[in-house]
Structure 1
Amino acid sequence: MPILTDFIPPSSAKALDLPTVSKGAPFFISFHASVEPNTGKPWCPDVVAALPVLREAFSPDHAPNVAFVEVGQRPEWRDPKNIFRTKWNLTAVPTLVRFESVDGTVKEVGRLVEGQILDRARLSKFISSREARI
């Protein structure tokens, strides 16, 4: 399955390396609210709604790789100094970011945020399109 749940993100998007984004294939990172220990679910209802859609989209064998990354519990996420806010330029969860190798450098080429992920047609196009800049 191309869903990576044990991916440890580098300190920032600029630190993604070429082995992660290889051979022209896109690499995706899906940023989520962390799971609350007392409920077993993410604290953000938008993430709870998006996770089944994301799992479905990335589960086929032909789907590109995606890393699921948790951004922290609600107090951590709300901290303006949260690394995902400062180094990954996130303003909301869930956020799905597409990275590609462009001229030998890994670059972000698009992202879907919150409700955009629930639009299955838009998500499918974003995942499969060579021209994913949205």
Structure 2
Amino acid sequence: MPISTNFKLPSSVNALDLPTETNAAVFIAFLASTDPTTGRPWCPDVVAALPHLRAAFSDSTGPEVAFVEVGLRPEWRDPSNIYRTKWNVNSVPTLARYERISGKPQEVARLVEGEILDLKRLDKFIRGSI
């Protein structure tokens, strides 16, 4: 399945287990957690982006994306939130692309908030054209 909701995020980018093939990418979508009272993410930008992310990664032969929830609003706003401090995520949604560069895992690109809604840009991002 190209969308993983049970991905175990390592402690840092350096600990990501990435494929060794050239241009092989791992995608992580950092998303607002689901509000238990509404059953939806608390962030309206995440609600808007989710259909686009699901559609973009729905092809069973395409790349895989890990959906990682960053916490409910109070957790997310905490400056010591691990996604802010270890992953440099300051906005949700954030879609990050990681590749192995000179043998080391590195973030090579990201789309943030409304950029994910631009379907042409999202497609180029996934194909590695951005």
Distance 1:14 1:95 in 2: 19
Which residue does 1:119 correspond to in 2? 118
Preserved CA contact (<8 Å) 2:31 2:67: yes
Q: What amino acid is aligned across from residue 12 of structure 1 in structure 2?
A: S
Which residue does 1:107 correspond to in 2? 106
Shift of the alpha carbon at 1:22?
4.0
Distance 2:14 2:103 in 1: 13
RMSD: 1.1
Distance 1:119 1:17 in 2: 29
Which residue does 1:30 correspond to in 2? 29
Q: Give a deviation string over 1:25-63, Cα, whole Å, max 9, x none.
A: 111000000001111000000000000000000011232
Q: Give a deviation string over 1:73-121, Cα, whole Å, max 9, x none.
A: 0000000000000000011000000001112111100000000000000
**Larger mean Cα displacement after TM superposition, 99-108 or 66-75:** 99-108
Preserved CA contact (<8 Å) 2:14 2:104: no
So what's the TM-score if we normalise by structure 2? 0.94
Correspondence 1:1-134 to 2 at 5 A? 1-18=1-18, 21-24=19-22, 25-129=24-128, 131-132=129-130
So what's the TM-score if we normalise by structure 1? 0.92
Q: Give the percent of matched residue pairs that are identical in Structure 1 and Structure 2.
A: 63
Partner SS state of residue 56, structure 1: helix
Unaligned 5+ segments in structure 2 are: none
Distance 2:44 2:21 in 1: 36
Partner SS state of residue 52, structure 2: helix
